[in-house]
Amino acid sequence: ENTNILAAIMAKQYGVKTTIARVTNLGNLIPENRDRYEKLGVDVLISPQQLAAEEVRLLVKRAYFTDSFDFERGKISIVGMALDSRSPIIGQTIGEVTERSTEFKFRIIALLRGEHTIIPSDDLTLQRGDHLYLSTQQSNLDLARQFVGKGLNPVKKIMIVGSGSLAFVTAKYLEEDYEVTMIVADEERGKEIVQGVSKTLVIHADPSDIEALKEENLAGMDAFIALTPNAETNIITSLTAQQAGVYKTIALVEDSNYIHISQNIGIDTLINMKLLAANNIFRFVRKGKVKAIAGLHGVDAEIIEFEIAKSNRLLKYPIKDLHLPKTSIIAGIVRGETSLVPEPETYIEFGDKIIVLALPDAIRKVEEIFR
């Protein structure tokens, strides 16, 4: 951390335009400390632990979704849902599903089928096991849940396994709103955590010991969050929690080789701190005025939010005539205090924030269009 900060300060002195430093001490993210580092030459401080803990908190709040991203403070939300046998839209085409929706506007922007990412067309038929991603206004998320056939199970009791900084920060984030039990392998580390939390119950036990988890009322939990450094432990314990009837499971999986495997065997939601940090950094190196970038676990695509900061040819034509690559799609538009899910005839206006999902082969062309 100190090396990162010092290197950023030195880089600024040598004339680098934007400096970014990764930090682990969350005290550095307090506004007054941020201001101090900015004056020294560190433009942006990034904490992967904080980013991951914030994502976990949002995913627990919206437990019926496997992925959840808000743009422009929730004016447009992108969520993911796995289609199971209870979903009423299985066997229908994207076009039929879109026509059925009369209560709210949404757009299906991507489909993960096995390991393949698909930008959907109207004639694509939905299948059991598909992972569906759609964009809509935040106020419509409950309608989206009902439309896809997901039940609503409020989360009250949460078990977290792990003792690292991510597990600690996550417990701190959740303990004010939920009944949190934390399983810690190291007794001394457990004593440290007890001093830093206010309501979390900290238990000394082996997180990989399934019987120990069951003894600590695993079956009585509404959510299970596995945040140990070991991906195998996180995957196995999450599957065990699902089999025990836990409604929501979240597993930290840093090894990209495990991501598709985890999804295919039924892990509900994955967290990857490297991906979260990288997406936070990418927005500074992408072309165009980029406001935010997000990535969907297992989906070979980026979600990029561009701001239309100057008048150009984009304002002259409807979306259908912008010649966007076929492997990209506009998920939503934020216009001032309002937002909309675009139609082919929609025009872009100066000042709009455009949220685009693009596969790797389309990113360069999309950047050029919105540059």
Q: Tokens 């050029």 correspond to what residue? A: 368
Q: What is the pLDDT of residues 11-49, one digit of tens each?
A: 999 999 999 999 988 888 888 888 899 999 999 999 999
Q: What is the pLDDT of residues 146-174, one digit of tens each?
A: 988 888 788 999 999 999 999 999 999 99
Give the C-alpha distances (Å, rounded to integers) separating 142 from 95, 137, 139, 148, 230.
21, 10, 8, 10, 34
pLDDT, position 266: 65
As a whole number of angstroms, the distance between CA 65 and CA 334 comes to 22
How big, in percent rounded to 5, are the helix, strand and coil portions of the chain?
A: 35, 25, 40
pLDDT, position 265: 66
Most confident listed range (90-94, 98-102, 265-269, 275-279): 90-94
DSSP SS3 for 347: strand
Average pLDDT over residues 333-357: 93
pLDDT beyond 90 at 109? yes
pLDDT, position 61: 92
Is the CB of residue 100 less than 8 Å from the CB of residue 122?
no
pLDDT, position 157: 97
Is the CB of residue 65 less than 8 Å from the CB of residue 81?
yes
Q: What is the pLDDT of residues 283-303, one digit of tens each?
A: 887 777 888 888 877 778 889
Give the C-alpha distances (Å, rounded to integers) separating 45 from 86, 160, 279, 314.
44, 27, 14, 33
pLDDT, position 262: 62
Amino acid at 116: H
Q: Which residues pair with 355 in a beta bridge?
A: 305, 332
Q: Which residues pair with 70 in a beta bridge?
A: 77
Q: What is the pLDDT of residues 232-265, one digit of tens each?
A: 999 999 999 999 999 999 999 988 777 766 666 6
The DSSP element (H or E) to which 36 belongs, if any, is helix 31-40
Q: What is the pLDDT of residues 59-85, one digit of tens each?
A: 999 988 988 899 998 899 999 988 888
Average pLDDT over residues 128-146: 91
As a whole number of angstroms, the distance between CA 179 and CA 159 comes to 9
As a whole number of angstroms, the distance between CA 192 and CA 204 comes to 12
- CA 23, chain centre distance (Å): 20
Is the CB of residue 136 less than 8 Å from the CB of residue 160?
no
Residue 269: band (very low, low, confident or very high) from pLDDT cuts 50, 70, 90: confident
Q: What is the pLDDT of residues 174-216, one digit of tens each?
A: 999 999 999 999 999 999 999 999 999 999 999 999 999 999 9
Measured from the Cβ of residue 232, the count of other Cβ atoms closer than 10 Å reads: 12
Percent of the chain with pLDDT over 70: 98
The chain-wide mean pLDDT, for the chain, equals: 90
Token reading at 174: 């959740």
Q: How far apart are the first and last CA of the chain?
A: 34
pLDDT, position 264: 65
Residue 356: band (very low, low, confident or very high) from pLDDT cuts 50, 70, 90: very high
pLDDT, position 10: 97
DSSP letter for 356, please. E
Amino acid at 211: E
pLDDT, position 99: 85
Is the CB of residue 261 less than 8 Å from the CB of residue 231?
no
Among residues 175, 217, 216, 221, which one has the least CA distance to residue 196? Answer: 175
Which is it for strands 269-271 and 248-252: parallel, antiparallel or unpaired?
parallel
Is the CB of residue 249 less than 8 Å from the CB of residue 9?
no
Amino acid at 271: I
Q: What is the pTM of this model?
A: 0.84
